[in-house]
Copies of this chain bind each other. A is one copy, B any other.
Amino acid sequence: MHSFKDDYSELGHERVLNDLLKISRKQLAGYGLDSVSAEARELIKDCFSLGKADIHFLTGGTQTNLVLVNAALSSIDAVIAADTSHILVHECGSIEHNGNKILTARNSGGKLLPSNIETIFNEHTDEHMVRPKLVYISQLTEKGTVYTKQELKDLFGICKKLGLYFYIDGARLGNALEADSADTKPEDMGKLCDAFYIGGTKNGSPLGEALCIINENLKNGFRYYLKQHGALLAKGGLIGSCFKTLFKDGLYFELAKHANKMAQKIAKALVEKNYELSTCSPANIIFPIVQNGKIKELQQYFNFLTYEKVDEKRTVIRLVCSWATTEEDTDKLIAML
């Protein structure tokens, strides 16, 4: 039974895993200070034009969000995020456990708007309330939508105006950059935020995210925060090597493009078959509205999430394609629709 449930079901691309094997017994410095990680950092800096950024490799998205926010904020500071944010809903309160409140605004198609930030900022006027300090978004959003370059510029603009950090969760950054509609290039990222991460786990790596810190204020002591959260892998070369493979010859973008292509093929078929899509997602996650009877039928052959009830008869489902989804898998699904 094929799963369209998520994009982290398959362990990792063969080239990524093979390259691990090649350095099996090579002695590397510990805790991310090794030569392989250094090479990976250079490749990423070149690709994203991140001359002076600090790049740290972490094991997963929740950990990356947690450590970045903990390093950036003091206990009286708060995060601003959309009500659909992963950080708010699906990370088991990790931000709050580490001491910071998340202030939320209703999302607009998965997105946060500059006006949301301004409203929340203006409501927090004195010491009886927390102090907004960091804006979190994800690109791709949880609804599969992509912020345009102008939207990112506007968000960063309002953040700078109000003295807030702007941080982008890029668990699916590859998919966002490779979306047909995308007008943001890798080399733009460093100018559009204070920090962002490049997701590896959801794009061909067995684990790992590359956190890119651009704002100088966020760099100081960061490795201490990594260590304190148990996020400083003894064998840092493990993630370093994965990212080296992904970025040395464009594999990262190739895999993201493939995942998008598979999902958009399904989306196109759905439209042709008169299904409605609850959000217009140009990347690897799509949200068709499906009759409940049809859902039951599909569930006999495929795994996927039911996302939201529309009415008594229909439900939004979530279909996700990955770097490893095959044409055959998608064709089988399309045939069943």
- Listed in ascending order, the chain A residues whose CB lies under 8 Å from chain B are 2-3, 6, 8-14, 17-18, 20-21, 23-30, 58-67, 70-71, 74-76, 78, 89-94, 96-101, 127-131, 201-202, 206-207, 221, 223-235, 237-238, 241, 324
Partner of A20, one of B17, B67, B97, B234: B17
18 contacts between A and B (CB under 8 A): A10-B24, A12-B235, A17-B17, A17-B20, A18-B21, A20-B20, A59-B59, A62-B232, A76-B228, A78-B93, A91-B230, A94-B229, A96-B130, A98-B99, A130-B228, A131-B221, A207-B233, A230-B231
| CA A8 to CA B127, docked complex, whole Å | 18
Q: Which residues of B have CB within 8 Å of A235?
A: 8, 11-12, 201, 206-207
| A293 nearest CB across to chain B (Å) | 24
Do A27 and B9 contact each other (CB < 8 Å), given the known contacts A75-B70, A91-B227? yes
The residues of B that contact A100 with a CB separation of less than 8 Å are 93, 96-97
Assembly stoichiometry (copies): 4
Out of B13, B98, B230, name the residue touching A24 (CB < 8 Å). B13
Residues of B within 8 A of A78 (CB): 93
Residues on the B chain within 8 Å of A130, using CB: 92-93, 96, 224, 228
Partner of A234, one of B30, B58, B60: B60
Contact (Cβ within 8 A) A128 B24: no
Interface of chain A, helix or strand or loop or mixed? Answer: loop
* Contact present for B127 and A232 (CB under 8 Å): yes
Q: Give CA–CA (A60, B74) in the complex, Å.
A: 23
Question: In the complex, are the beta carbons of B30 and A226 less than 8 A apart?
Answer: no
- Asked if A17 contacts B21 (CB within 8 A), the reply is yes
Interface centre among A94, A128, A207 (most CB of B within 10 A): A128
* A227 x B127 contact (CB < 8 A): yes
Known: A25-B324, A75-B97, A201-B234. A92 touches B224 (CB 8 A): yes
| Known contacts A10-B25, A92-B224, A206-B235, then 5 further A-B pairs from the complex at CB < 8 Å, ordered by chain A residue | A9-B29, A11-B241, A25-B324, A93-B228, A131-B224
Can you list the 3 inter-chain pairs with the closest CB atoms, starting with the nearest?
A: A63-B230, A76-B224, A92-B227
| Shortest distance from the beta carbon of A296 to any chain B beta carbon, whole Å | 21
Q: What is the CA–CA distance of A224 and B92 in the complex, to the nearest angstrom?
A: 7
Which residues in B have their C-beta under 8 angstroms from that of A24? 10-14, 17
A127 adjacent to B27 (CB under 8 Å)? no
From known contacts A99-B96, A101-B96, A228-B97, infer whether A11 and B26 are also in contact, taking CB-CB under 8 Å.
Answer: yes
Contact of A75 among B65, B225, B231 (CB under 8 A): B225
Nearest chain B CB to A172 CB, angstrom units:
12
A134 smallest CB distance to B (angstroms): 13
Let me know if B99 and A230 touch, CB within 8 A. Answer: no
Asked whether A206 and B238 contact (CB < 8 A) given A76-B221, A127-B232, the answer is yes
Residue of B nearest to A65 (CB): B230
Q: Which residues of B contact A234 (CB under 8 A)?
A: 8, 60-61, 201-202, 207
